[in-house]
Homo-oligomer: A and B are copies of this chain.
Amino acid sequence: MLMVALVHYPTINKEGRVVTTSVTNFDIHDIARASTTFGVARYYLVTPVELQQQFVRRIVHHWLEGSGAEYNPTRKEALTAVEIAPDLAAVGEAIERDFGRAATWVATSARRYGNTISCAALRRRLRDEPDQPVCLIFGTGSGLHPQILEEADLILEPIQGPTAYNHLSVRSAVSIYLDRLLAVRGD
């Protein structure tokens, strides 16, 4: 059972400084749609900023119960998996409350670290232990604060194309990982 957490604090900017990023409308929609396509149990938008939480609530409400629900029912379906949390501790509590087990935390990064797990290995683990909640953690800005990477149980292997360029948008990275971990395939 897979969850996605999109972290807006603590993240780093391109100079490596700790920053709080803004939630974007595209982050909400694109990742909710990918999560629903691949059967992700929950998509947590993580920000401690009350105004940002309100922004997310307003958008989700528009599509779930406002005029958006009638205008585009497929958006409604996608956004039902969205939850808002102030920090990862709150995500952990929500997972334990809703799914009865403590989550396994899997951080993501464009760099390779020691405790890296391959997508193939995590795919097998999700298949073999379907009741264990696994929460993928994604950073906005230039990535997760190093402390989150240190505290995670595992770090997922970076996505590597045939070039040295590794600046995917977080929306692209989430989509690719969900496809690798959960797509229906011949294997």
Chain A interface residues (CB < 8 Å from chain B): 14, 24, 26, 29-30, 33-34, 36-39, 72, 74, 77-78, 159-163, 165-169, 171-173, 175-176, 178-180, 182-184
Give how many copies assemble into the complex. Answer: 2
Query: Which B residues touch A72, using CB under 8 A?
Result: 14
B30 & A166 in contact (Cβ 8 Å cutoff): no
Query: Which B residues touch A166, using CB under 8 A?
Result: 37
Interface centre among A77, A178, A179, A182 (most CB of B within 10 A): A179
Bound-state Cα–Cα, A38 to B24, Å: 25
B184 & A37 in contact (Cβ 8 Å cutoff): no
A30 & B163 in contact (Cβ 8 Å cutoff): no
Query: Which B residues touch A77, using CB under 8 A?
Result: 165
